Amino acid sequence: MKIAMVSEHASPIADMGGEDGGGQNIHVARLAAALARQGHEVAVYTRRDDPRLAERVRAPGDYEVVHVDAGPADRIGKDHLLPFMGDFAYGLLRLWETDRPDIVHAHFWMSGLASLWAAERCDVPVVETYHALGTVKRRHQGGADASPPGRTGFEADVGDRCAGIIATSEEEVRELAAMGVSEDKIALIPCGVDLDLFNPVGEADDLGSRYQILTAGRLVPRKGFATIIRAMKHLPHTELVIAGGPVDGQVWDDPEGRRLRDIALAEGVSGRVRMPGQIPNDRMPAQYRAADVVVCAPWYEPFGIVPLEAMACGVPVVAAAVGGLKDTVEDGVSGTLVDDPTPESIAAAVQTYLEEGDVRRVTGQAGRLRTCARYSWDAIAAETWKSYELAVSAA
C-alpha cells in the first residue's frame, strides 16, 4: 500500500525539545518506520521550516520525508500555522496529482484540513489522528489556550469528512462522540514504544543518591513538573531529574525552566532537583533504568509516551489519572494512578515504591510485560493498516 502521512508541524526527523517537538514527532516517525518494515511505501509530508532542507529526504526508518513549501521557511509555532494551510494543501495536491497515494493518514487537525482539501480532489480516503483535541485543551488551559479561533469547529468538520479516525485513548473516543463524530468511524489504537531501545537491561545513569525519581517532557506548565518539585519536600534522601527543555541544556534561558528553578528554591529542595535539559533519545533508557520511580503529573495528556517508555524499561510509574494515562498505566499492576495529583498525594504514591523494593520490582516487571503484549510498534502498525484497509474499501 502507498501511504501518505501528513504531519504539518511535527516532522519525524526534526530535533526534539522545541516548542512543538514532542510525542507527535515520535509517533509519526515510529509508525512510518514500522509500516515500511511491513512492506508498505510510506512518505511523510511536513511543512518546510528551514530553507536548507531538501524537498525529499530518506529517513533512517526507510521511509521518505517530503518538505512542502507553505509560508516562510522558518520555525513557526503550530498555533500560528493556520493561515498557511491553504498553501500547504495546494502543495499536497500538486504532489499527489502526479504521485497518487492509496491512503492519506493526517496527524493533527490542521493536517486533516489540508489533507482533506487535497485528497478529495484526488479521490483518496483520509484517516485522521488528532493527537490532541481543542475541547480538552480549552477545558484544562482556559484563557492560556493559544489555539486559533474556530479550532473545535474545524476538528468537528474533519471528523465528519474523513473516512476514518484513529483515537489513541478511550477518553478521546468519548470526546469525539460528544463532538458528534460517528463512533462507527473510530478505531482505538494507542501509541507504541520501541521495545528494543527501551528495555530493562543495560547501562543506568545512577546519580548516587539513595533514591531517584525521573520525570520527562517539554518544559510547559501543563506537564505538572511544579507539583512534582513540591512533592520533594515529603521525599527526603531522594533526587528528582527533570529531563526536557532546550536542546543545548541551557534550561535557565527557558522561562518555564526559570520558574521551576524558583519553585525548587522556594521549597528548599533545589539541591535535590536536577534539570539537565533535553536528553537524546538514545540516552533516555539509561535515565529510566536509574530511576526507582517515573512520575507523570500533567494537567491533561492525550496519550503520554513517557509512561510507556518507563514501563518498557521495567520501572514503576506514578501518573495523574488523566487522558491516555488512564489507559496506559494499569493501576495497582504497572504503577499507580493518582486521581487528585497534589504534592502530598504524589509523594505518598511514590513513597510506597521507595520503601518496598519487592513491590517496585514486581510492578516494573508487570509494566514490561504489558508493553510487550500491547504496545510494540509492529503491532500498532498492523492495527493501523487494518484501519486503512477499511477506509479504502468504504471509499
Q: Which CATH number fits domain 2-192+376-394: 3.40.50.10610, 3.30.310.50, 3.40.50.2000, 3.40.50.300?
A: 3.40.50.2000
Cα separation of 311 and 369, whole Å? 8
For position 20, what pLDDT does the model report?
Answer: 46
* CB-CB neighbours of 75 under 10 Å: 14
Q: How far apart are CA 355 and CA 183, in angstroms?
A: 45
pLDDT per position as a tens digit, 379-391 = 999 999 999 999 9
> What is 211-374's CATH topology?
Rossmann fold (3.40.50)
pLDDT in tens, 352-365: 999 999 999 999 99
Neighbours of 286 (CB within 10 A): 15
Residues 246-262 pLDDT 10s: 876 688 788 999 999 99
pLDDT at position 300 is 85
Q: How far is 249 from 239, CA to CA, in rounded Å?
A: 19
The tens digit of pLDDT for each residue in 210-250 reads: 899 999 998 989 999 999 999 999 999 999 999 998 876 68
Which of 191, 190, 128, 173 lies closest to 155 in space, CA to CA? 128
Backbone angles phi, psi at 258, to 5 degrees: -65, -40
Domain boundaries, the chain: 2-192+376-394, 211-374
Q: What is the mean pLDDT of the chain?
A: 93
- What pLDDT is stored for residue 139 in this prediction? 82
Residue pair 171/326 in contact (Cβ under 8 Å)? The answer is: yes
- pLDDT exceeds 80 at position 18: no
Residue 208's pLDDT is 74
Kindly state the cell numbers that stand for 3.
501511504
Query: Residue 211: in which H helix or E strand, if any?
Result: strand 211-216
How many Å separate Cα 269 from the centre of its chain? 29
- The values of phi and psi at residue 102, to 5°, are -85, -30
Segment 273-284 shows an average pLDDT of 92
Report d(CA 373, CA 45) in Å as an integer: 31
pLDDT at 249: 67
Interval 168-187: pLDDT, tens: 999 999 999 999 998 899 99
